[in-house]
């Protein structure tokens, strides 16, 4: 099997192609449709999902150049979801810059997002590989799961009884499915054995669950300058995160009353609400409990990767990326 690319090499390859595409998109008419897309694609970000697709392709000895258009499709689709999510969540900042609906307006963000969802398929269908139909079916299923997860997320905001199991299923759909789908797409484009393509999909699901649990934790406890968006956004919008659901489960009657007071209060000072809820979380040791839950999924993900019968040195880049994800501060 041929020598593998390093993570920085794959990132550079992806970003170079992405910047090239963004530049072309930004010059397309009508400008008011396409410039917000260029703005979005130039905002940066971790580019985790497309790089994982390329890494999975490389892991199984595939040609990453063949997989590059599929990686662009995943990144464009992911960014489309962020445009619409930011409107739904009333989030003003994305990656330390104004969200698209704040820089332009909501109508622009909706329509440019719609265009991006179509553009993602245009990139995907440029992929020249015998497995393209299977890859496209997986991409479509994954895209629908992301929408289902977002709907559950919104439903939960006004739903009194949400279980931790409900929440975990929601983040499996909303977050983990796209990570897992990207990894499996890369495997399919490398003609990986079906059992290994499934293993790397399960690796992605479990890593995605660990990633989202950690993201929820960072939303409350991170350094805002590093995190790239306002701290406490989940608290302000009463998001049914693992932290809140676990807090309601283990809180004393007084602590539960305090949490419910802030959940039901419609007129409040944002900083005061975040501080009050965070104080309850700290008393309940939620930072440690949530970290342990995240680590359970991380260890389960590593188990799936270890089960793939390839030399450990070939799996090392994915292991490094997973470790980097779990140790991040933003």
Nearest-5° angle of CA 127, CA 128, CA 133?
75
Residue among 295, 291, 320 at smallest CA distance from 305:
320
**Domain coordinates in residue numbering, the chain:** 7-326
If DSSP codes are grouped into helix, strand and coil, which group holds residue 6? coil
The pLDDT, as a whole number, for residue 282 is 97
Whole-model pTM?
0.93
DSSP β-ladder status, 93-94 and 97-98: antiparallel
pLDDT, tens only, 266-315: 999 999 999 999 999 999 999 999 999 999 999 999 999 999 999 999 99
Residue-wise pLDDT for 163-206, tens only, equals 999 999 999 999 999 999 999 999 999 999 999 999 999 999 99
pLDDT recorded at residue 307: 96
To which residue do tokens 């669950």 refer?
209
What would the CATH number be for the domain defined by 7-326? 1.10.600.10
Beta partners for 97? 94
DSSP code per residue over 249-316: HH--HHHHHHHHHHHH-SS--HHHHHHHHHHHHHHTTHHHHHHHHHHHHHHHHHHHHHTS-S-HHHHH
- For the chain, list residues with pLDDT below 70: 1, 224-229, 329-330
pLDDT of 227 reads: 62
Residue 219 CA, chain-centre distance (Å), reads 14
């Amino acid at each position: 099997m041929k020598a593998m690319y390093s993570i920085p090499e794959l990132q550079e390859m992806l970003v170079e192609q992405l910047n090239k595409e963004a530049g072309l998109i930004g010059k397309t008419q009508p400008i008011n449709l396409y410039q917000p897309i260029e703005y979005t694609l130039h905002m940066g970000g971790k580019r985790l999902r497309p790089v994982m697709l390329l890494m999975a392709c490389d892991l199984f000895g595939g040609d990453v150049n063949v997989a590059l258009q599929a990686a662009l499709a995943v990144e464009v689709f992911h960014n489309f979801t962020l445009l619409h999510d930011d409107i739904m969540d009333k989030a003003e900042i994305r990656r330390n810059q104004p969200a698209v609906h704040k820089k332009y307006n909501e109508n622009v963000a909706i329509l440019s997002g719609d265009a991006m969802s179509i553009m993602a398929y245009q990139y995907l269908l440029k992929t020249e590989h015998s497995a393209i139909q299977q890859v496209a079916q997986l991409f479509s299923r994954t895209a629908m799961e992301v929408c289902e997860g977002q709907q559950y997320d919104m439903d939960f905001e006004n739903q009194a009884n949400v279980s931790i199991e409900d929440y975990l299923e929601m983040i499996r759909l909303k977050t983990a499915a796209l990570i897992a789908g990207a990894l499996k797409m890369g495997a399919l484009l490398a003609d990986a054995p079906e059992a290994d393509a499934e293993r790397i999909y399960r690796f992605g699901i479990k890593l995605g669950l660990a990633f989202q649990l950690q993201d929820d934790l960072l939303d409350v406890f991170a350094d805002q300058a590093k995190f790239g968006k306002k701290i406490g956004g989940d608290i302000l919008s009463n998001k049914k995160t693992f932290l809140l659901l676990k807090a309601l489960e283990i809180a004393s009657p007084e602590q539960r009353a305090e949490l419910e007071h802030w959940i039901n209060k419609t007129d409040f000072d944002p900083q005061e609400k975040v501080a009050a809820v965070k104080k309850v979380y700290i008393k309940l040791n939620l930072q440690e409990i949530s970290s342990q839950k995240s680590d359970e999924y991380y260890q389960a993900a590593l188990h799936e990767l270890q089960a793939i019968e390839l030399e450990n040195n070939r799996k090392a880049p994915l292991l490094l990326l997973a470790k980097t994800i779990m140790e991040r501060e933003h």
